[in-house]
Structure formats: structure tokens, C-alpha cells
Amino acid sequence: MIIGLTGSIASGKSTVARMLAEKGYPIVDADEISRQVVEPGSPVLDQIIEAFGDAVVLETGQLNRGKLGDLIFNNIEKRQKLNGIIHPAVRKEMLRQKEEWMAKGASTVIMDIPLLFESRLQPFVERILVVSVEKELQKSRLMARNGFSEEEAESRIASQLPMEVKERGADAVIDNNGTLEATEQQLDAILEEWKAEPLF
């Protein structure tokens, strides 16, 4: 069973991913892969430099994520251009890792994909688990975690699909407005219901 784990910014998805890893489920992490594919010397980074110029690279040769983020944040055309470079490489590596886990005997693999709905990756998974949070709590967590102003936090939240849209597309929803214990109890109940077996 391939479970797609998703949520929205500051919804607590990473916390649920950690719980799943601790329970022995193999995780394919889209964010981690998106960092790997742009490492210095990678063909993907070369394409990004070609498209956006040398300013998006630090002196160390690493991608300057802040600079690139500023360039694309309010520019749909540039964002689409960047996604067209990065997404195919990320998808290819995600599928490779999934196949590798299954070859090792995993009957359940977690695909941790923050932008699962935005990137239309539903066909990659068999079940979708959404970690949900109320907007005000999401905003205060984001401001505390990233040092954003209220306006910046609202802008980041607005750049993603509304939480209720994701909930409607989910096979199960974890309400992450309460305690960690409450979140884990919900997770355990869903895993049991889906008969999801850990590997380790």
C-alpha cells in the first residue's frame, strides 16, 4: 500500500512523518529529494542556473533557496519554469526509492509529499492521509517557526490549496489542533483500519 502523506505549511505533517518513521514505516520524502536533486554539479542545478542566472547560486556552489524563492514567489511564469525543471527529476527519484523499498519487502510505503494536490500527484499513491489544522493556529505556528509577520504568514498559506479542499480529497484526515498524543492516537487508528504493516 502506497500512502500519500500531505498537509499544508505548518500543519504538522512533518511531525506525523516522524511518528511514522519511528513506528517503522519507510518514508519517501519529496522535500529531501528536492534538495538532493539540486546539489552542486547536478544537471538539475545547471538547468536552474541557465534559466535564472548565477545569482541563484551561493559562493559555495549551493543553490541560494532564499534568492530563488524571492524570484518565483509572486511570479507564476517563473514558478512554472522552475517546477518544469525540478518536478520531473523529483518524481523519478521518488518512484525509484518507492520501488527500492518494495524490493526490500515493504508492504506499506509512505510518500511524504507536501504539495501532493498542488502537483497533481494523486495517481502516485493509493491512499491519501491529510494532516489538518485550523487556519489561526496554522498562522500562529508559522509566525513563531519562521519569524514571519502576520501578512507574510497569510500570504504563504494563501499560496497553497485551502485546507478544506485537501480534506475533501483525502481518504483520512488527522486533526492536528490538539496534543501530540491526540494526533498519534488518530494516526494509530488509521493505520490499524488500513492494515498498514511497518517494515522494521
Per-residue pLDDT reduced to its tens digit, 127-170:
999 999 999 999 999 999 999 999 999 998 998 899 999 999 99
Site of grid cell 541563484: 56
The yes or no reply on domain 1-26+106-200 and CATH 3.40.1360.10 is no
pLDDT(73) > 90 = no
Over the stretch 3-62, which tens digit does the pLDDT of each residue have?
Answer: 999 999 999 999 999 999 999 999 999 999 999 999 999 999 999 999 999 999 999 999
| CA separation for the pair 157, 136 (Å, rounded) | 11
For the question of whether the overall pTM of this predicted structure is more than 0.85, the answer is yes
pLDDT(93) > 90 = yes
Q: What are the sequence ranges of the domains in the chain? A: 1-26+106-200, 31-99
Region 54-71: mean pLDDT is 92
Residues 6+ apart with CB under 8 A from 85: 44, 47, 48, 51
- β-partners of residue 157 are none
DSSP string, 3-19: EEEE--TTSSHHHHHHH
Region 59-72: mean pLDDT is 91
Determine the pLDDT at residue 60.
93
| CA separation for the pair 114, 124 (Å, rounded) | 13
Q: Tell me 160's DSSP state.
A: S
pLDDT(91) > 90 = yes
| CA separation for the pair 5, 27 (Å, rounded) | 10
pLDDT(74) > 90 = no
Region 95-117: mean pLDDT is 97
Determine the pLDDT at residue 126.
98
| CA separation for the pair 88, 163 (Å, rounded) | 26
DSSP string, 141-158: HHHHHH---HHHHHHHHH
Site of grid cell 525540478: 86
Over the stretch 179-200, which tens digit does the pLDDT of each residue have?
Answer: 999 999 999 999 999 999 999 9
SS3 at position 105:
coil
